[in-house]
C-alpha cells in the first residue's frame, strides 16, 4: 500500500471504517434490546428475530467490504466495481431499515468512499497494472 496514491489509501481507509462502524453499531443494538422493544412494542422474540436479521445482513456487508477492499488494494479493478455495487445495495438496505443517526453516518462514509474509489488518480493507479 506504500506505493498507492493518497486517494487509494483514503478509499481503503473509508471502506474499512465502514465495515468496523457497521459491526459496532450492530453490536450496540444488542445492548439496546430493551429500548428497541420499548420503542416498537414488539415481543422479546420479535426483537431477537429483528436483531438477528440485522446482524446477519450487517455481517454479510462487513465481510464483503473487507474482502473486496483487500482485492482492491491488490489492484483488481473488478473489486472497485464490486465495492461500489455492494455499497449501493447497502444504501438501499439502509433506506428500507430506516434512517437513524448511525445510518446517516454510514451513508456519508459510503458516499465518501465511492468518491475516492472512483477518482482519476485511483483509476490511473489501477491502469498501471494493466500496462505492465
- Dihedral of the CA atoms 102, 104, 108, 109 (nearest 10)? 20
**pTM score:** 0.91
pLDDT at 2 over 60: no
pLDDT at 93 over 60: yes
pLDDT at 20: 97
Please tell me which residue, 72 or 128, carries the higher pLDDT value.
72
Cell for 46?
420479535
Cell for 14?
473509508
Q: What is the number of residues in the chain?
A: 132
pLDDT at 128: 87
**Rg (alpha carbons) of the chain, rounded to whole number:** 17
Q: What is the pLDDT of residues 10-60, one digit of tens each?
A: 999 999 999 999 999 999 999 999 999 999 999 999 999 999 999 999 999
Q: How far apart are CA 53 and CA 43, in angstroms?
A: 15
Amino acid at each position: 500500500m506504500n506505493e498507492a496514491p493518497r486517494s487509494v489509501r483514503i478509499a481503503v481507509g473509508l471502506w474499512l471504517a465502514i465495515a468496523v462502524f457497521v459491526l459496532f453499531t450492530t453490536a450496540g443494538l444488542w445492548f439496546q434490546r430493551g429500548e428497541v422493544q420499548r420503542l416498537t412494542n414488539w415481543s422479546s422474540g420479535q426483537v431477537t428475530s429483528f436483531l438477528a436479521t440485522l446482524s446477519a445482513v450487517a455481517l454479510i456487508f462487513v465481510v464483503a467490504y473487507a474482502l473486496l477492499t483487500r482485492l482492491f488494494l491488490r489492484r483488481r479493478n473488478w473489486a472497485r466495481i464490486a465495492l461500489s455495487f455492494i455499497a449501493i445495495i447497502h444504501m438501499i438496505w439502509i433506506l428500507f431499515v430506516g434512517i437513524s443517526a448511525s445510518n446517516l453516518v454510514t451513508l456519508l462514509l459510503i458516499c465518501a468512499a465511492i468518491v475516492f474509489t472512483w477518482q482519476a488518480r485511483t483509476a490511473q493507479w489501477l491502469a498501471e497494472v494493466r500496462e505492465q
